[in-house]
Amino acid sequence: MNDSSVQAIGVDWKATQRRALLVTLFGVVACAVGALISPQHFLRGFLVAWNFWAGISLGALALLMIQYVTGGAWGLLLCRIFEAASANIALMAILFLILAIDLPAVYEWARPEAVASSQALQHKAPYLNPHAFGIRAAIYFMLWIAIAWSLKAWSQKQDRTGPSAVLADRCRLLSGPGLAIYGATVTFASIDWVMSLEPLWYSTIFPPLYAIGQILSGMAFSVAVILLLAREGPLSKTVLPSQRRDLGNLLLAFVMFWAYLSFSQFLIIWSENMPEETVWYFNRIRGGWQWIAIALIIFEFAVPFLLLLSRETKTSLQRLTGVALLVLALRVVDIYWWVEAAYVEPMSFYWLIDLAALAAIGGVWVWCFIWQLQRHSLIPFADPYISEYLPEVAT
């Protein structure tokens, strides 16, 4: 099996990209209408959609580094998808500038009158202010883009030069510190972008919960993509039932970790019963938001957990694809629950703006993802460890 055979998998990439651009066009028009109706709700919806798509890119970067540190067949199957998704971090950095149009519409700490009337916000002002917010975001993106670009460049250089233990070692040596950098930067990013929506609330568990949400999004997306591509063509003989079982086990592990952190945060805050902490949950279990909380418990944890316990589900191409897409869809709902409920408003038709923003960002994100993905073989045949992890495709 060679590079060209794996690229000829019966997927019309150009047609898919055209559809993605049409989705973006529709989303942009709908967002423009929404911005005219309510600029505040547009920016809130944009924040929801941006966090979802950025979460896939950052989660893919974290998974790519985990793959280099740990090794395994699962990583070689997914590494090209991880590389293409993490390359979109640069796109998300550009789109992030849209939030800077009107920070006070999204964040209370960015409103001078709110800061002037709150001693607590004045105390936090050295950290929570627009200038520092922008500087920190620039630092996050520069670090993430540098790591993603380096890993992608070294990995794909082997497609031109052949297997290289030196390049493979570079990827592994960068990935260890890279994971530490990811953990530190995502911790502060979660505080800046989501936790500070309610600047008087705090939780030491939310940053790792935010990070595992990204990794779960990246894993669910990557599993769905590789399985959709494996329905026919050469990849159908590459992504074997044993490998699908491994992918299902990993997806199950991340679902359980997300549920563990979510429940731990709830249990600790509820048992302490401190008003400045419990308000976060009170805002999300009233005014219709309680139904989303119940849906998350059932469809982001219980249903995937029970389905992925089954060996048949994990080895079935169609069932595992369905579970991955279900988890990915519920990640959108989870982020919507995090962000929109922070404004202490009952659910209304403005959720349509969130969908429009999701389409506007998602279409161009998918276009760029496909452009990156189709530039190289979907399986890294020049990887020096492919004969060890994927001997059936090494020849």
Q: Which amino acid is at 360?
A: A
At residue 346, the pLDDT reads 64
124: exposed, middle or buried (Cβ count in 10 Å: 0-12, 13-18, 19+): middle
Determine how many CB atoms are found less than 10 A away from the CB of residue 292.
Answer: 19
Going 159 to 162 to 166 to 169, the CA torsion angle's sign is positive
Report d(CA 111, CA 259) in Å as an integer.
35
At residue 206, the pLDDT reads 97
User: Nearest 10 degrees: CA dihedral of 10, 13, 15, 17?
Assistant: 150
Report d(CA 362, CA 54) in Å as an integer.
10
Chain segment 48-64, per-residue pLDDT in tens: 999 999 999 999 999 99
At residue 3, the pLDDT reads 44
Give residue for tokens 């150009």. 14
200-236: burial string, b at 16+ Cβ within 10 Å, e else: bbeeebbbbbbbbbbbbbbbbbbbbbbbebbeebbbe
At residue 388, the pLDDT reads 66
Report d(CA 61, CA 83) in Å as an integer.
7
Cβ atoms 335, 213 nearer than 8 A: yes
- Tokens of residue 281, six digits: 């949950």
Element holding 150 (H helix, E strand): helix 130-161
Instruction: Give the domain ranges of the chain.
Output: 3-389
Going 264 to 270 to 273 to 277, the CA torsion angle's sign is positive
At residue 394, the pLDDT reads 55
Of all residues in the chain, what percent carry a pLDDT higher than 70? Answer: 93
At residue 393, the pLDDT reads 62
DSSP state of 393: T
Chain segment 86-140, per-residue pLDDT in tens: 999 999 999 999 998 899 999 999 999 999 999 999 999 999 999 999 999 999 9
Going 311 to 227 to 62 to 103, the CA torsion angle's sign is negative
At residue 4, the pLDDT reads 40
At residue 17, the pLDDT reads 94
At residue 286, the pLDDT reads 86
- Tokens of residue 108, six digits: 């209370």
Chain segment 354-363, per-residue pLDDT in tens: 999 999 999 9
Chain segment 327-346, per-residue pLDDT in tens: 999 999 999 999 999 987 66
Cβ atoms 64, 151 nearer than 8 A: yes
Cβ atoms 95, 31 nearer than 8 A: no
Weakly modelled stretches of the chain, pLDDT under 50: 1-6, 8
Element holding 193 (H helix, E strand): helix 165-193
